[in-house]
Chains A and B, each alone.
Chain A
Amino acid sequence: MKRGLTVYAVFAYAFLHVPLLILAVFSFNSSRFAVWESFSLQWYRAVAQDGNLIESSINSLIIAIVATAVATIIGTLAAYGLWKRGSAWLSGSLYLSLVTPEIVTGASLLALFQWIFRFAHLRLGMHTVILAHVGFSLAYVVVVVLARLRSYDRTLEEAALDLGATEFGAFYRVTLPYLVPAIAAAAMLAFTVSIDDYVITSLVAGVDSQTLPMVIYAMARRGVNPALNAVSTLVVFGLGMLIMLSERLRKPA
């Protein structure tokens, strides 16, 4: 039984990880076909010279950084607020945003924006994408930070208040430091869901706010393009580095 499970696990892990490994290996293939020819960096060169990819990567980074910063800050405050005193309708709407299918979130946001544009002289662009991203990553931040607060000893904050700290001071100097690991994890989660989102972004982005997933998606639908293997490898590698870095920061030696 034990041995059977181990053999099975090897296959299961292979299923989870080999497809991306193959993609990475073939990003270094000199042939544009799925047969190994020889080692080459030509697809990486092609990526570096593709203005569309570079521009959309910059857009994606700006959107992800701004959306993560805003969602992490206000989501942390909200988690703390909810922990102190629950709010049924806010919890309810956060839960709703977590379970709404992405396509519905995107379509309904688009409907709202188009309705607003009837009255205001505005267009779809980076601002609408950032607003959408803050919206859908907020629930993730609140869930992660709230989970950590559940194991927090309330008396620590009460002690600070007894010793003369203001309510804000007790939050800032006692509770907040305790929450740092959860806040870091929440920010990582918000960043990864933001940088990876295609479905919602594609609906609320304007012509000047193409993101990397939108360009990748368009390339994937068009068919064979080894440059896409190179971009994919770079993105996965970049996210991997970021995860390792955040793990380091969370567990100082």
Chain B
Amino acid sequence: MRLRNPFLAPTALLMAITMLAPLAIIVVYSLLTRGAYGGVELPWTIENFTRLWDPVYGIIFLRSFWIAAVATALCLVLGFPLAMFIARSGSRKNLYLSLVILPFWTSFLIRTYAWMFLLRDTGILNSALQALHIIREPLPLLYNDGAVILGLVYGFLPFMVLPLYATLERLDASLLEAAADLGARPWDTLVRVTLPLCAPGIRAGAILVFVPCLGTYLTSDLLGGSKTVLIGNLVQNQFTASRDWPFGAALSLALMAIAMVLLLAARRRGEEML
């Protein structure tokens, strides 16, 4: 076969090995039977997909959706004023922007660990509150859904702020002045002019936060403890401890399908990166 575009060849080969071949394997495995010692066996079956409808897993999917949705909403609420502050800060814009991007460049794992250090029974917050005699027993701050949501918001806030900032930055200031001239109070201007004009940024930010939150494994494993089982943890478990690869494959495909549907639904013309 003659390559039409030699510049693409090495990347095409690597994507075939690390992306497409694994995907093909997963599709095949999801239709096979679990082997007696892990691994997979014939016969072909669709049982792995029918199992997805079992309420046990339905609840896990719903919980994952719920946690990702709350984290996304919090990122939006917390990120919007911050993006607005940056967009309006004149010559200091770049400094404030890099202060948001900086955590993105430092280790996600270590930033998650920092919250374990702060929240656990013998952590900073509980120790400080006990030293001040505000509480006697440590508060159960770590290993619950709240801690997972906090970790997700902390980790993904920059993904929300950046697209919001990009749209706010391009916002035509004369529209806001017009609203004010016509008698709108600041709050009305915000809700009825600024927010609707920011819809593309909100959409982009929501997708950038929601999709990785839905498939989170690390945050829920470290901050949620064994109580918080989300889709990501369920997938990991099938490929390790449970050794049920066909079901793990079916779960992976379901998770990917959900992510793809959301991305396609949110994608509009002219927003493509590739």
Contact between B256 and A100 (Cβ–Cβ < 8 Å)?
yes
Contact between B117 and A23 (Cβ–Cβ < 8 Å)?
yes
Contact between A203 and B239 (Cβ–Cβ < 8 Å)?
yes
Interface residues of B in 86-104 (CB under 8 A from A): 86, 88, 96, 99-100, 102-103
List of B residues within 8 angstroms of A43 by Cβ: none
Q: How far is the CB of B164 from chain A (nearest CB, A)?
A: 13
List of B residues within 8 angstroms of A229 by Cβ: 117
Q: How far is the CB of B42 from chain A (nearest CB, A)?
A: 15
Cα–Cα distance between A242 and B17 once the two chains are bound (Å): 31
List of B residues within 8 angstroms of A187 by Cβ: none
With contacts A8-B81, A220-B113 known, is A103 near B274, CB below 8 A? Answer: no
List of B residues within 8 angstroms of A8 by Cβ: 81-82, 85
A108 at the interface (CB under 8 A from B): yes
Interface residues of A (CB under 8 A from B): 1-2, 5-6, 8-9, 12-13, 15-17, 19-20, 22-23, 26, 33-35, 74-75, 77-78, 80-82, 84-85, 87, 90-91, 93-105, 107-112, 114-115, 131-132, 134-136, 138-139, 142-143, 146-147, 188, 192, 195-196, 198-199, 203, 213, 216-217, 220-221, 223-224, 228-229, 232, 235-236, 239-240, 243
Q: How far is the CB of A176 from chain B (nearest CB, A)?
A: 12
Cα–Cα distance between A234 and B44 once the two chains are bound (Å): 51
B22 at the interface (CB under 8 A from A): yes
Cα–Cα distance between A64 and B58 once the two chains are bound (Å): 38
**In this complex, which of A5, A101, A196, A198 has the most chain B Cβ atoms within 10 angstroms of its Cβ?**
A101
Tell me the interface secondary structure of chain B in the complex: helix
List of A residues within 8 angstroms of B22 by Cβ: 105, 108-109, 111-112
Please count the residue pairs between chain A and chain B whose beta carbons lie under 8 angstroms apart in the complex: 245
List of A residues within 8 angstroms of B14 by Cβ: 74, 134-135, 138
Cα–Cα distance between A134 and B18 once the two chains are bound (Å): 9
Cα–Cα distance between A139 and B22 once the two chains are bound (Å): 16
B222 at the interface (CB under 8 A from A): yes
- B18, B96, B102, B249: which contacts A111 (Cβ < 8 A)? B249
Cα–Cα distance between A108 and B239 once the two chains are bound (Å): 9
List of A residues within 8 angstroms of B157 by Cβ: 16
Contact between A138 and B15 (Cβ–Cβ < 8 Å)?
yes
- A85, A142, A232: which contacts B114 (Cβ < 8 A)? A232
Q: Which of B48-56, B196-204, B211-219 contacts A (4 or more CB under 8 A)?
A: B211-219
Contact between A5 and B245 (Cβ–Cβ < 8 Å)?
no
Interface residues of B (CB under 8 A from A): 4-8, 10-12, 14-23, 25-26, 29, 39, 78, 81-82, 84-86, 88, 96, 99-100, 102-103, 105-111, 113-118, 120, 122-124, 126-127, 131, 154, 157-158, 186, 211-212, 214-218, 221-222, 232, 235-236, 238-240, 245, 248-249, 252, 255-256, 259-260, 263, 273-274
Can you name 21 A-B pairs with beta carbons within 8 Å? A5-B81, A9-B81, A19-B118, A22-B124, A23-B113, A34-B123, A74-B14, A80-B7, A85-B4, A93-B16, A102-B215, A102-B218, A105-B22, A107-B239, A112-B25, A134-B18, A138-B11, A203-B239, A220-B116, A221-B222, A239-B107
Cα–Cα distance between A98 and B107 once the two chains are bound (Å): 18
Contact between B111 and A34 (Cβ–Cβ < 8 Å)?
no
- A80, A91, A96: which contacts B19 (Cβ < 8 A)? A96
Cα–Cα distance between A45 and B82 once the two chains are bound (Å): 40
Contact between B245 and A111 (Cβ–Cβ < 8 Å)?
yes
Q: How far is the CB of B111 from chain A (nearest CB, A)?
A: 7
Contact between B25 and A102 (Cβ–Cβ < 8 Å)?
no
